Structure 1
Amino acid sequence: MLKEKKTIIALLLIPQYFFVKLLGNYPDVVELYYSNGLYVYISKAFRYMLGWLPFSFGDLVYAFGIIYAVRWLFINRKRLRKDTKQWFVDVFTAVSIIYFAFHLFWGFNYYRLPLHKSLNINADYTTEQLVNVTKLLIERANATHFKITKNDTVKVNVPYAKHEVLNMAPAGYVGLKKQFPDLEYTPVSAKISLFSLPLTYMGFSGYLNPWTNEAQVDGMIPVYKFSTTSTHEMAHQLGFAAENEANFIGCLAAINNENIYFKYCGYTFGLRYCLNEIYRRDEALYTQIVKTLNSGVLKNYEEVRIFWDAHQNPIEPFFKLFYSGYLKANKQNKGMESYSYVVALLVNYINENDVL
């Protein structure tokens, strides 16, 4: 009887796969009934259950899962030859359950409406519009930087411990609700990852655990970067699965935080994407515009670059390649390159709304 049940569960992986692909063609349905329907309750339930824990429960689940999988493969290694069929049934039973839980608890958000459609803004923009928004962000970044440092050549040092930043980050979503009434980030479930060291060497500053809905932030990254990474991962928790959309929401959440350090991190976070896009389009124009930025702001950018350069290693590109493939498998067709879409969201949203 148990073997029959396992076989049925394993075979259910096939219709699950085709159902997911079929549903991906109906983003309006996903948006209405899942992202703004069922997922809202699932997400809150997990955050209520696990948010109070001072450590990452999801990281422990990952650790236990890896140890269990390695142990199972070792113990059952001989069954691969002697009982091949049942060995594969057992493996695919586990895969089927994990695949089902991934999509039910979070993964269907990959197939929701693109954010520019739900916000009813354009996805295209001119270089002139890009430059105007970039100049506005430079103005805000310079003014906030000088207000903090009183010296335009000194980098900003965020004077908070990282656990304090996690506690302060949700306040930005309170301000953001004025523009996005449906956004409500309560209760909080954001943790410093127990796997911060391997995350760093993999080249990632954070992640959302899709099975426990905990926002995980790399505890090794500079505090300056930690602020917007926290709001970014919280955006994932609210159902914005695409990295570019989480960047956009996370940027606005930081800017809408009443804390001046969060505002500074938000302005410079969005600005970096805009500057990179200008550089891609016109290097001479980039050189001209970047001269108007306080040198202290550039030192904050340099701080982050030096951190990642210090942790580069031969295996990082493989993790990035794997993650890019993961994004493409979930309708992020450009993989990690799709991050540039955040510029289109920022430029059009700021041009059409007085949000800065």
Structure 2
Amino acid sequence: MKKIRVRWIIQAVCLVLVWLLKLFPHGGEWYATTIYPVCSGGLACFSSFFPFSLNDLFIYGSLAGILLYLLYALLCKHRVKQALVHVVEYLVWVYIWFYAVWGLNYYRNDFYQRTQLQRQVYSEELFGRFLQVYTDSLNAAYCPVDTVEKEKVEAAIKASYAVLDTKYGLTCPPENLRPKPMLFPSLMSGVGVMGYIGPFFIESHLSKDLLPVQYAATCAHEMAHVLGISSEAEANYYSYLICTTSSEREIRFSGYFSLLPYVLSNAYRVLPEADFKAWRETLRPEIVSLYREKADHWQNLYNPLLGEIQDKMYNWYLKGNRISSGTANYSEVIGLIMAAQSASF
């Protein structure tokens, strides 16, 4: 009994420390710039020794273990109450581990605070200028991407992140960082997930179903999460920035092409119908064809029921971690880009 009480005291202290960093105005930023680089470097080095995902093994193994443990307690008429206490205690440790090694990045200063850029108020002129620059760049960057040299792309992206302006507040990429395959890739593709960070062991995961043109941008997006970025809009921004400034044409086009869904949705929402159709006609036919191919590819893999469940759960998860717009946060990358463009004029 004494050991249990000591364990609970340690757990309570850890919980209080996590909550204090969440509540303290700059606690998350202090964590992201002092504690997280150490955690991420150590865990990424450790996980690099394993070719499979430790994160996925931990999550699915924990779920299976909890279910089997509770089933055992019920079938054997064991102390069910005690089993429930053990499960709750374990889940609290998982909660602490998540926030201690990555999750507190949700509570850091936002993009505008760290970069000193001004949030832009929408205007037709501002959006029109962005749309013109983007469309010209997208059309000019087009090139067929039939295959992808994964190691070459990963090395180029990692090197670009290593020299990114320190104002963004990212950590330096761990030396042994490499994307890993998902444990259940078909399940992830079925809910539309192309990549994700494994926060428990600082691993990035990429879908085996990615089209060659998507690989570089998705790799750069997930690497941003590994480097301490929690916001999906920010991860999209860094992916766009890293890829579109690359010396490799295939990587540049991947960056511009990855932004197209968000540009389309924003343009459709704010432009008059005639103007939207006129703008869409300015896209190269090859790009339109590739976009439709990508949409059909993922639609054929998508499971509507599981996808809707996953979307609602992830929306809830993001809103519970200071991403007030939930899954709509992805498309907010346009605002970040416009803020950076306005500062350069």
- Distance in 2 separating the partners of 1:294 and 1:175: 33
How many residues align structurally?
341
- Of residues 314-323 and 168-177 in structure 1, the stretch that sits farther from structure 2 once superposed is 168-177
Q: State the 1:278 CA deviation.
A: 1.5
Output the CA distance in 1 between the equivalents of 2:326 and 2:10.
29
Equivalent residues in 2 for 1:269-308, closer than 5 Å: 269-282=258-271, 283-308=273-298
The reply to whether residue 72 of structure 1 matches residue 63 of structure 2 is no
Q: 1:22 to 1:333 in 2, by over 3 A?
A: farther
Question: Which residue identity is paired with 1:172?
Answer: S
What is the SS of the residue equivalent to 2:319?
helix
Counterpart amino acid of 2:325?
Answer: K
Q: Report the Cα distance in structure 1 between the residues aligned to 2:170 and 2:229, rounded to whole angstroms.
A: 13
Choose the corresponding residue for 1:47, options 44, 47, 51. 44
1:142–1:294 CA contact under 8 A, matched in 2:
yes
The counterpart of 1:340, out of the listed 313, 331, 334, is 331
Q: Is the aligned partner of 1:255 residue 2:252?
A: no
Which of 95, 120, 125 pairs up with 1:99? 95
2:40–2:174: 8 Å Cα contact kept in structure 1? no
| Change in CA separation of 1:180 and 1:333 when aligned onto 2, cut-off 3 Å | closer
For residue 141 of structure 2, the aligned residue among 125, 144, 155 is 144
Superposed displacement of residue 287, structure 1: 1.5
Which residue identity does 1:138 align to in structure 2?
T
Q: Which residue of 2 aligns with 1:327?
A: 318
The sequence identity of aligned pairs, in percent, is 24
Q: Is contact 1:177–1:184 with CA below 8 Å preserved after alignment?
A: no
Is the CA contact 1:205–1:218 (under 8 Å) kept in the aligned structure 2? yes
In the alignment, which residue of structure 2 is the partner of 1:114?
110
SS of 1:216 mapped into structure 2: strand
Alpha-carbon distance change, 224 to 135 in structure 1, aligned in 2, over 3 angstroms: same
Paired with 1:309 and 1:211, the residues of 2 have a C-alpha distance of: 30
Q: Are the equivalent residues in 2 in contact too, given 1:221–1:307 (CA < 8 A)?
A: no
Equivalent of 2:148 in 160, 164, 167: 160
> Structure 1 pair 73/9, CA: closer, same or farther in 2 (3 Å)?
farther
Q: Is the 8 A contact 1:107 1:210 kept in 2?
A: yes
Higher deviation after alignment, 115-124 or 66-75: 66-75
| CA RMSD in angstroms, aligned pairs only | 2.6
Find out whether 1:216 has 2:205 as its counterpart. yes
SS in 2 for 1:185: coil
**What pairs up with 1:191-206 in 2 under 5 angstroms?**
191-206=180-195
Q: Summarize deviations over 1:28-75 as a string: whole Å, max 9, x none.
A: 2321x2011110111111122223543323223334323322321221
Q: Could you tell me how far apart the structure 2 residues matched to 1:280 and 1:262 are?
A: 29
The alignment partner of 2:342 has SS state of helix
Whole-Å separation in 1 of the counterparts to 2:291 and 2:167: 29
Contact preservation (8 Å) 2:33, 2:171: no
Q: Which runs of no fewer than 5 residues in structure 1 stay unpaired?
A: 149-155
Distance 1:103 1:52 in 2: 23
Farther off after superposition, 192-201 or 64-73:
64-73
Matched to 2:53, the amino acid is S
Paired residue secondary structure (2:197): strand
**1:163-182 equivalent positions in 2, closer than 5 A:** 164-174=152-162, 176-177=164-165, 180=168
How many angstroms apart in 2 are the aligned matches of 1:196 and 1:273?
25
| Offset of residue 174 of structure 1 | 4.1
Q: Normalising to structure 1: TM-score of the pair?
A: 0.86
Tell me which amino acid in the other structure corresponds to 1:110.
Y
State the one-letter code of the partner of 1:206: G
Superposition deviation, residue 84 in structure 1: 4.1
2:178 counterpart residue number: 189
Alpha carbons 2:170, 2:227 under 8 Å: kept: no
Secondary structure at 1:12's aligned position in 2? Answer: helix
1:317 Cα shift?
Answer: 0.3
**Conserved? CA contact 2:37–2:171, under 8 Å:** no
Q: Please say if 1:4 is aligned against 2:4.
A: yes
Structure 1 letter corresponding to 2:187 = P
CA contact (8 A) 2:98 2:200 kept: yes
Work out whether residues 278 and 285 of structure 1, in 8 Å CA contact, stay in contact via their aligned partners in 2: no
Gaps of 5+ in 2: none
Paired amino acid for 2:45: Y
How far apart, CA to CA, are the structure 1 residues paired with 2:312 and 2:69? 28
Match of residue 227 from structure 1:
216
Deviation at 1:124, TM superposition (A): 2.8
